[in-house]
Structure 1
């Protein structure tokens, strides 16, 4: 059957290979360069279990994303699924959780990871005033890159994405001869609690698989392409991640946790000497810069669109007269990211980003079940997860289990966050009703 354009006049040109590669590129980010040592700190050689937990969960979530997208006629991603299923209040909360927790906190975590990596060469970055200055220059420089030229921003992201994937595969190959079986033995039995805590942190490295599914109207034969593309992407990511953890643990053994900031660079130093170490550190820096630039390229458009639609101050919808970019939205976005970056370290911010994304994913999983029951959204036959509600409910249970490993302070903070934005929503709604009278 020939592919046809959608009701949005988009051509269906994305096949299994394109969807899978897009998913791999979005998931394989900076986290995998620094997380192997942090995860091993709690589980040792048993850290592989955390990867299996995260991989299984992300596959279940991706299937739910595919079904929710197939049964929602509007564009807009995860927050649109939630808004369609549960209404504008839920959509408002989802949008803010996604933007502040899943995006800005993630960017702040990446910025701190970059500072930690560079601290290997510039110890002064361990001093607050120098670190703050570096973060200011980092966010300011990337903001200018994306304000001055969309083309340059996109080009840099593509270059960084290709570079990191090639470097990781090369590192795995050259490190295999240095893996020692003794380093892979479990010296203690992992507990459910330790696995849960490690998986919550590690989930940061698995974020992003759902992003390519936003192009649902451009996917060829979604009933076949979506599940197959997801399966291939998850398989490649899991193979890559487990291989990285295996060679890292197998090469460094008990010394792995001594290299929290640059574990892959330590492996490269053993396999290739100082040039290899310098190469991996350079790739890590490139990957972080690429991920940050990609976020700053795309996510401020949410602020821009919300302001355009009257949900935020109109000034945020301003467009630069020369560069034709949403410069005010970008400026506000990076300012908040900078403030979050100087307020916490990588591990703390990564947990916040993971928890926020998991909370958002829980909303999508529940919306999958709700959308099945809404006849208005089932007029067209779309992709449906097999097994009835078992997969969505299993995914929901897994998310709740991971979130249960948050500390009391973290849970309280998330509760306050949701309450504050709920108040903002209802105040804005009341003010709008008064204006419309």
Structure 2
């Protein structure tokens, strides 16, 4: 088997991107967004997509400079130094473990609620442990196995949504999706709801920041990662808009009170078959985002181990190049978090964890452009448009969204960053001591 066959090609990266972005949220987004934006919901998807694109294009350009695992960790470390990189990298990995725990529990919840065994604690816990352990095992088998499961799960979860769009588009009532407060005054935008709608829609697009975490397992990442980020985000935006248009166009105002808006719309246009197709699609969808998480998360540890910011054995690979220790360690951390039920409090870290990836990455683009201005070989394969305007705009958007968050969430995130700081200095001191040892002692 060739090295090329063992890595993710462009379209496998795009499918991985779909799995990273499109999760269970799309099945609830129409109802939640309609409550804030009313018949502006479809337009709000495009408006939010443009704002998210300003950040994603910065990630695309930054990805074009490097072929190493790590994504925001690498970009931050190379632009602003090792300490800044460590804070971003370690917080990112730990937050991703929490997120995976949440997604594993969500997978259990949707299964138990659909098939009626929510009161069976033993079975529920077995499902939570099972999905984490099974996906860990698949990743230990190699990139080919992970790629196959990712591709299958992505296609499987997209097919029901494509069915809804293709069938439902003929049942749209235009007045339901054309912004006109005179026609539909119940749910409409104002100065308060527009911000809430933008923030809600913004988080439905997140996930693009993980693309470069496993760059070394991808073919020609300096070229393919920027392309995959742009392609994925563009298709996701159109996909979201079409799903919103069909769901809102079919259900009208009743979408706001629906607990399962996509499934309800599917039932209107195709009966019980459509309802169950979308229901099964939601199960596959949240399973798919677990697949993407299981692949990305362990590889977030590798650059930290390579740079001796955590013990080097976390970067150990087997004969087939599989990071076995990082994969097992991520599983070992994720399982107890998922079973503890305490991740609601831990998830408060997510706000700071997300934006400490976004803001340094956007600023790093300006640093790299200046640093590599006269080095054609080092320049990125992709350049975000509008010169310095786009990175600056992206940072402003990030700061605005961060400022809108509850102060407690920001305090918890910053407190955790302060708490992990000593780990960096301990690791650097240990690395310095090891470097000073004679070769015989190291052996």
TM-score category of the 2 structures, normalised to the smaller one: 0.7 to 0.9
Contact 1:33 1:284 in 2 (8 A): yes
Contact 2:76 2:360 in 1 (8 A): yes
After TM superposition, the structure 1 = structure 2 runs for residues 149-168 of structure 1, keeping only pairs within 5 Å, are: 150-168=143-161
Q: TM-score normalised to the size of structure 2? A: 0.79
Aligned to 1:163, the other structure's residue is in SS state helix
How far is 1:149 from its partner?
A: 5.4
CA shift in 2, pair 1:297/1:66, >3 Å: closer
Aligned to 2:113, the other structure's residue is in SS state coil
Give 1:356's aligned residue: 353
Give 1:407's aligned residue: 406
CA shift in 2, pair 1:73/1:181, >3 Å: closer
Find out whether 1:366 has 2:363 as its counterpart. Answer: yes
Give 1:195's aligned residue: 194
How far is 1:202 from its partner?
A: 3.2
How far is 1:22 from its partner?
A: 6.8
Stretch deviating more after TM superposition (13-22 or 350-359): 13-22
How far is 1:431 from its partner?
A: 4.3
Contact 2:63 2:226 in 1 (8 A): no
Q: TM-score normalised to the size of structure 1? A: 0.80
**CA distance in structure 2 between the aligned counterparts of 1:331 and 1:78, rounded to whole angstroms:** 23
Aligned to 1:388, the other structure's residue is in SS state coil
**CA distance in structure 1 between the aligned counterparts of 2:132 and 2:10, rounded to whole angstroms:** 36
**CA distance in structure 2 between the aligned counterparts of 1:190 and 1:251, rounded to whole angstroms:** 21
**CA distance in structure 2 between the aligned counterparts of 1:219 and 1:300, rounded to whole angstroms:** 15
**CA distance in structure 1 between the aligned counterparts of 2:314 and 2:159, rounded to whole angstroms:** 38
**CA distance in structure 2 between the aligned counterparts of 1:150 and 1:171, rounded to whole angstroms:** 32
Stretch deviating more after TM superposition (185-194 or 206-215): 206-215
**Can you list the C-alpha shifts for 1:286-326, whole angstroms capped at 9, x where unaligned?**
222222123213421333554465433355345579x9844
Aligned to 1:121, the other structure's residue is in SS state helix
- Counterpart of 1:86 (choices 80, 88, 92) is 80
Give 2:391's aligned residue: 392
How far is 1:84 from its partner?
A: 0.8
**CA distance in structure 2 between the aligned counterparts of 1:196 and 1:165, rounded to whole angstroms:** 29
CA RMSD in angstroms, aligned pairs only: 4.1
The gaps in structure 2 that reach 5 residues or longer are 178-183, 437-443
Give 2:279's aligned residue: 281
Contact 1:204 1:351 in 2 (8 A): no
CA shift in 2, pair 1:93/1:224, >3 Å: closer
**CA distance in structure 1 between the aligned counterparts of 2:210 and 2:79, rounded to whole angstroms:** 19
How far is 1:354 from its partner?
A: 6.4
Find out whether 1:336 has 2:329 as its counterpart. Answer: no
Contact 1:222 1:383 in 2 (8 A): no
Give 1:34's aligned residue: 28
**CA distance in structure 1 between the aligned counterparts of 2:278 and 2:322, rounded to whole angstroms:** 34
Stretch deviating more after TM superposition (373-382 or 282-291): 373-382
Stretch deviating more after TM superposition (388-397 or 210-219): 210-219
Contact 1:50 1:196 in 2 (8 A): no
How far is 1:91 from its partner?
A: 0.9
The gaps in structure 1 that reach 5 residues or longer are 1-8
Give 1:6's aligned residue: none
Contact 2:351 2:413 in 1 (8 A): no
**CA distance in structure 1 between the aligned counterparts of 2:229 and 2:295, rounded to whole angstroms:** 25
What is the aligned residue count? Answer: 425
Give 1:253's aligned residue: 252
